[in-house]
Chain A
Amino acid sequence: MERFLQDVKPGEWARVEHIEGGGALRRRMMDMGIVPGVEIEVVRCAPFGGPLQIRLKGYYLAMRRGECAKIIVSVPEQSLLEPSLASR
């Protein structure tokens, strides 16, 4: 099921399908390891609609909701995904 990273619930894993838009923002995301195929866990959201804390490749990243809305992900059946793979 495809949706925006912004809509993934805390504690859930998702796989990046593609990133909308281009330019500096997409390049920055690429540098941080957000490329298609990568698995991302949404760890928590800052209160009052603040940024999201996500985990990928074993490290933590903070990103605003607006930016997360540019990332289209597919959310697999949570039980099927081996979390230890994506968490590292």
Chain B
Amino acid sequence: MKIALMGNPNVGKSTVFNALTGSNQQVGNWAGKTVERKSGVIQRANEQIELIDLPGTYSLTAYSQEEIVTREYILREKPDVVMALVDASNIERNLYLVLQILELAPRVVIGLNMMDLAKSAGIKILSNRLAQVLNVPVVEIVAAKGQGVEEFLSEAIRVGNLKKDPLRDEVPYPEELERRIQAMEHLLADTIWATKYPLRWLAIKRLERDSEIGQTWRSIPQNSKRSKNNDSCCDSGDSIKYVLQDTDTLPGEDLLQAYEVEGWSKDKFEMTVADAKYQYISKILPEFRINEGPIKRTWTDRLDEWILSPIWGYPIMLIILSVVFWFSFVASAPLGGAVSDGMAWAADMIVGLMQKVQIPVAIQSLVRDGIFAGVGAVLAFVPQIAIFFAFFSLMQDSGYLARAAFLGDRFMQLMGLHGKSFFSLVSGFGCNVPGIMATRTLEDPKDRLITMLINPLIPCVPRLGVMSAVVAAFFPGSLGAVIMISLLSLSMILVMFSAILLRRVVKQRERSAFVMELPLYHIPTLRNILLPTWQKTYSFLRRAWTFILVASIVVWVLSSYPQGVPMDETWAGKMGGWLTFIGQPLGFDWRIMVAIVFGFTAKETTLSTLGILYGVAADASQSIAQAMTGAMTPLGAYTFLVVYMLYIPCLASVVTTYKESHSIGWTSFGVVYNLLLSFIVGWLILHVGLFLGIQ
């Protein structure tokens, strides 16, 4: 049995989904769309159920990617039952989607969530009355506590096993519209489309000139390796792909023309249909919703008075972000240190064992200086990344991030960006890959593209780690903090500059709308925090034994052969020698150039690369930086830091940009732009510094 879980954003859909499927989840993307696809297979009383968590949407018009995916799924896959999750504290708008679902899917069960929030706002919902009015089973649940979730599912299974589709009343439309719908129904009744879709729905969509209903899609099952990959994290796609086969024009063009003359345009139909649904909801509302006493001020009202206050809003945001960054960068440092120590200890153990069984020295060196040094340097960032994403999930789930977008929108607007770009940019501080993926919340493709292209300019945790080690070596004491802040400010300025520049490069037809719900605050469940944190950290970890392992081995080989020659005679040294013509204007020697080139695979390896090149123990980041102090002036180091901070973060971010933008052109543009920007800004800083006589 196929069951789909649907609902508005922020109604607790993922909580219900996580509670039902536990760890049997597959997370990937919808084929051809960058919308997350979650599914899970569960077993209940001899019944195998495939549960699909459809993206949260406000309606089923084909407007945003989420809505398209959701509607396509219902239309093409025809799930046996739809579990519609409804926020009881916001039932009026939630029912708008439910009415649209009811038009498309015959078997629906409503889950009434957030009853506690409704109660604290002074609203009482009579769920049995709601069930009677809509003729749909209603189950009360408290998703955060797991109450009623199992009952919700068993009710869905019961409805799925009914012999006949339940009948229900249709939304009454005003006479003028009803007459036109019936005329269209009459035209379409005997066509093949009427066998595919519910007739009434089809007629309305035809009146709204919905472009997708005439299309025939063929599904191609894909037997790629990917579909068999049961990895809970990184399955990257649907096993079924759709191909557009045919586009037919449905009958009724003459009728539509005639209606247009009468003043019933596409827009008017849309508006009247929507209006009728809302009217119907307000009409039935008093039957199941009771307002107990006057409106109570909720927790959200009280918190927003501070959090969104014109005076306190920004200081509070600053404090919250400082706490997040302090925990992820400062408080996590001992954990990162422990990981490096552990790796160094493990390397010693393994090399010790190898010595006993007399494995060649070259291989011992590969393990110690290549694999362990490279991978270990990267693993040391895992605690930072995990802590950052745990906080990020907390901010997102609690409802704070929407408030931050509200406060930040003015500044985003100045840069020509959308308030939601703020999510992506903040997330980029953790790691640019999820930062680029976070652009999915943006509805407008051009806004998405711009946000995606500027995201790499935000220094991620690993880059900040490398940078702070270099800063600590060259600029001891409080000067270091000033230098670090100056670097971060520089990146902010360049983010703004690039956004304004890209706004001119990327052509956009209409400016996108900023219409965003500010959800009620609530305390997220531990599971909803830890699961996405684990998924994001895991995908970072996976890089450690793919990209970074390979990169570490390559660096080791290039810098160790031919054997027994000085460092600048090795392959890496020679390569650096050829590249010095690029580094020359910036004062970079061959070692820095090699580190920059190898940094393309993953920038977090830069410290260990420099360690190998300068011939110091790779696990002690401090000593690598110290070795550099002999070779560079502080101004040179600052130039290096600027270039290092700005050029493309890593191969994974480039691959992600390509996957998200589906455009080789824009991906290459992003890479070239980043490289040019970093070298030009670096050159400017060096030469202005030299001119001012700074050493």
**What's the Cα separation between A43 and B518 when bound, in Å?**
12
Query: Which one of B86-94, B375-383, B656-664 is at the interface?
Result: B86-94
Q: 8 Å CB contacts to B: which residues of A60-84?
A: 60-64, 66-67, 83-84
A48 to chain B, nearest CB (A): 5
Chain A residues whose C-beta falls within 8 Å of the C-beta of B278 in the assembled complex: 33, 35, 38
- Identify the 3 closest CB pairs spanning chains A and B, nearest first: A50-B410, A60-B518, A31-B59
11 example contacts (A-B, Cβ-Cβ < 8 A) are as follows A25-B515, A26-B271, A28-B63, A31-B59, A33-B96, A35-B275, A37-B275, A57-B92, A58-B89, A58-B123, A84-B295
A80 to chain B, nearest CB (A): 18
Asked if B63 contacts A24 (CB within 8 A), the reply is yes
**What's the Cα separation between A53 and B516 when bound, in Å?**
10
Asked if A24 contacts B513 (CB within 8 A), the reply is yes
Known: A24-B510, A28-B63. A47 touches B92 (CB 8 A): no
Contact flags A18-47 to B (C-beta < 8 A → 1, else 0):
000011111111111101111000011111
Enumerate chain B interface residues (CB-CB to A < 8 A).
58-59, 61, 63, 89-90, 92-93, 96, 121, 123, 267, 270-271, 274-275, 278, 289, 291, 294-295, 300, 304, 308, 310, 313-314, 402, 405-407, 409-410, 413, 419, 510-511, 513-520
Q: Chain A residue with minimal CB distance to B314?
A: A47
Asked if A58 contacts B96 (CB within 8 A), the reply is no
**What's the Cα separation between A32 and B96 when bound, in Å?**
9
Chain A residues whose C-beta falls within 8 Å of the C-beta of B406 in the assembled complex: 46, 50-51, 53, 62
Asked if A88 contacts B274 (CB within 8 A), the reply is no
Asked if B515 contacts A63 (CB within 8 A), the reply is yes
Point out the residue from A26, A36, A48 that lies within 8 Å of B267, measured CB to CB. A26
**Number of A interface residues in the complex (CB < 8 A):** 40
The reply to whether the CB of A49 lies closer than 8 angstroms to some CB of chain B is yes
Chain A residues whose C-beta falls within 8 Å of the C-beta of B61 in the assembled complex: 27, 31
Asked if A64 contacts B275 (CB within 8 A), the reply is no
Asked if B96 contacts A87 (CB within 8 A), the reply is no
Chain B residues whose C-beta falls within 8 Å of the C-beta of A27 in the assembled complex: 61, 63, 270
Point out the residue from A22, A29, A57, A83 that lies within 8 Å of B515, measured CB to CB. A29
A67 to chain B, nearest CB (A): 6
**What's the Cα separation between A8 and B300 when bound, in Å?**
22
Chain B residues whose C-beta falls within 8 Å of the C-beta of A31 in the assembled complex: 58-59, 61, 63, 96, 274
Asked if B409 contacts A64 (CB within 8 A), the reply is yes
Known: A33-B278, A36-B275, A62-B516. A88 touches B313 (CB 8 A): no
Asked if B516 contacts A61 (CB within 8 A), the reply is yes
Asked if A50 contacts B407 (CB within 8 A), the reply is yes
Asked if A49 contacts B410 (CB within 8 A), the reply is yes
**What's the Cα separation between A22 and B96 when bound, in Å?**
20
A20 to chain B, nearest CB (A): 12
Asked if A57 contacts B90 (CB within 8 A), the reply is yes
Chain B residues whose C-beta falls within 8 Å of the C-beta of A87 in the assembled complex: 295
Asked if A46 contacts B92 (CB within 8 A), the reply is no
A5 to chain B, nearest CB (A): 12
**What's the Cα separation between A33 and B285 when bound, in Å?**
15
Asked if A84 contacts B515 (CB within 8 A), the reply is no
**What's the Cα separation between A50 and B129 when bound, in Å?**
42
**What's the Cα separation between A60 and B518 when bound, in Å?**
5
A50-B409, A59-B93, A62-B517 known, 20 other contacts, Cβ within 8 Å: A23-B510, A25-B513, A30-B274, A32-B58, A33-B93, A33-B96, A43-B304, A47-B313, A53-B304, A58-B89, A59-B519, A60-B304, A60-B518, A60-B519, A62-B514, A64-B413, A83-B295, A84-B291, A84-B295, A88-B291
